[in-house]
Homo-oligomer: A and B are copies of this chain.
């Protein structure tokens, strides 16, 4: 179990691409009913993710703010495929690009499928108030905007957003 502190940003330009050292295609879905989680009848999300040739079962507590308990377990890819078939809500597909910066790593998620057009940069931090350098390509912070979370994107993808929500 780890406690995850993650900040999310939009990107202001495509200049992040030249800094990418590794990219992995991901497909993920949620076993949990979305409404049950949103309405606090369930306290943790249950996500199945295939990342390249690996797969993971991930549980994340639902708590306000940027810090939450996270549990991540490797599972066989064949299991993940069977579990994805049991998922509810939409499947979220993306390419995750890794950009090292000092001791940290930016993860830039370039979505496709129903979320095509959306690019979100995430940074996992060792502490809530940890300092970090902002690269020139970094855009507006959206850490507190629920609609950008993968969980929300599975239920209501980018293609369903209004023009105002996209800006």
Known: A69-B82, A82-B1. A88 touches B42 (CB 8 A): yes
Complex Cα gap A42–B59 (Å): 16
Contacts of A69 in B (CB 8 A): 82, 86
B43:A61 contact, CB within 8 angstroms: no
CB within 8 Å of B: which residues of A?
1, 31-33, 35-36, 41-44, 46, 57, 59, 61, 69, 71, 73, 75-76, 78-79, 82-83, 86-88
Contact B31 A36 (CB under 8 A): no
Closest to A81 in B: B1
Asked whether, in the complex, the Cβ of B71 is within 8 Å of the Cβ of A43, the reply is: no
* 13 A-B pairs whose Cβ atoms sit less than 8 Å apart in the complex: A31-B43, A32-B32, A32-B42, A33-B33, A33-B36, A33-B42, A35-B36, A43-B87, A57-B73, A59-B86, A61-B86, A69-B86, A71-B83
A80 to chain B, nearest CB (A): 10
